[in-house]
Amino acid sequence: MKVIHILASIFCVIALLAVMLISSVDIAVYGNKGYFQKEYQKYGVLKSININEKDLLYVTEEMMSYYSISTFKFVNGFCPCYTVICVNKR
C-alpha cells in the first residue's frame, strides 16, 4: 500500500510539472501580442518573404489561434486532430 502511495505521489508531481510547463509556454507565446512583431522586425522577415506587416501579423494571429490550446473542441468526448480541423472550419 505504501508503494502505491509513493507511485501516485510521483505521478501527481510529474503531472503537475507538465501542466505548469505547458501553461507557462502557452502564456509566454500567446500572451504577448507584440512579441512576433518585434521578432519579425529583428530578423527582417518582411523583406525576405515580400509581405506587408499587417498581412503577416494577420497570418500569425490566425495561425496562433489555430494552434492555441483553448481552440481544441471535443466532439462526443473525443478530440483527434482531424476533429479539431473540422470543428474550427465552421
Q: What is the pLDDT along the chain (90 residues), one digit of tens a residue?
A: 899 999 999 999 999 999 899 888 777 777 777 888 888 889 988 888 888 889 988 988 888 877 665 555 555 555 555 444 444 444
d(CA 73, CA 71): 6
> Considering Cα of 57, then 61, then 64, then 66, what sign does the dihedral take?
negative
What local confidence, expressed as pLDDT, does residue 5 receive? 93
Nearest to 41 by CA among 62, 66, 60: 60
Contacts of 47 (CB under 8 A, 6+ apart): none
For residue 77, give the 3-state DSSP assignment. Answer: coil
Residue listed under C-alpha cell 482531424: 82
What local confidence, expressed as pLDDT, does residue 83 receive? 41
What local confidence, expressed as pLDDT, does residue 26 receive? 76
